[in-house]
Chain A
Amino acid sequence: MTKLLYVEDNDDNVYMLKMRLELLERFEVLVAPDGEKGCAIAAAERPDLILIDLEMPGVDGWEATRRLKANPQTRSIPVIALSAHVLAGTRERALAAGCDEFDTKPIDFDRLVATIERLLKAEP
């Protein structure tokens, strides 16, 4: 079972995506409501991949990603940024902040799963 961490403040989105991923019966989805807790759980649980919302109160996705990539314990975990912002440049900024992939909300579920599988395969 692959362990995923989903960092997201919107409860409906957490409910939806966690359930859809777990319905596939090959993912276990851990959840954190903000960047601060996300980083703590990532360090403690060492998930195989992190899905992170960029806009969150407190420590947002940008900052959390920078912390995850700065911490030797979590540095190697692939991060997929999810954002409802579609402005030009958001993707580039997310990748620059250290994210391995970027996808827009509302999510295209099949495409997201394909991206997750691809990043997991690339892992050494």
Chain B
Amino acid sequence: MLVLGIETSCDETGLALYDGDCGLLAHVLYSQVELHADYGGVVPELASRDHVRKAIPLLRELFRQAGIDAGAVDGVAYTAGPGLIGALLVGAALGRSLAWAWGVPAVAVHHLEGHLLAPLLDAEPPAFPFIALLVSGGHTLLVWVGGVGEYRILGESVDDAAGEAFDKTAKLLNLPYPGGPALARLAEQGNPDRLRFPRPMTERPGLDFSFSGLKTFALNTWRSLEPSPDNAAAVARAFEDAVVDTLVIKCRRALRQTGIGRLVVAGGVGANRRLREHLRELAVAEGGRAYFPRPEFCTDNGAMIAYAGYRRLLAGQCDDLAIRATARWPLDSLQPPGPVVQS
């Protein structure tokens, strides 16, 4: 079964072809990062405009890279949410219409399900059940994953997402947009013993996160210091250490609470080198193993949507002709795939 995956929930146009027998055949990505850089954040209307402009050329490129005829597609999966509604609608309208015109089934995929299943695209995928830490610019979640469509949220951020806190802290240090990766690079040069930031919500039990106070702490610390490169690096380092440490503490709790050793780390912040190192050590110390999707599948991409869609289409799921797009869509409302028509 050959599945086309379409992802347009935010500022990346991602397309991929996944085949049940041969695995991932091709994936292409167009990032709008430069378009939004001038504004210091994603401008929804500009994002939607860019998706509709880039989708078809990118689709042609995808089939060219895969070296197969578009008529060979057996099903279409598109991201239906959560995300920016206007951006979602472009990919959803395109995907649902392609499927209709080809006469093949379509499924609306939950963006976070795509992220949660992304490690299954790699060699040596984790077995179910596993614990997933999903950390990105929009989400910070700890999820128990029992199987495709079986998700239980163990903890989540009560305010800012981890990636959002990274970006905002980077902004106050005047780092270029998007700030997260730039902040991580600056942190490499920072003295880890200069400053120490709090580890929010680790003193009390529970698996929820809060990063908004940490961002404020960073701001107040930065204001109290001379604005030198050394001090900026020290703030970056102290901030990154605090976020990483907090995530590690919560992951340890989640593994111990559930008695599961397999830890999947997904989402854009999951590409952070220091976070990866610490979580890898943690999982080993807990007698388990950490799994990381390859970096290009940590950030938004079409491959994870193609794969999640493939799993659902294989189980017989087939949506009606409605073009589905929803800005808010709770992850734990999903059901395991079955031969049902979603309507």
Chain B binds chain A: no
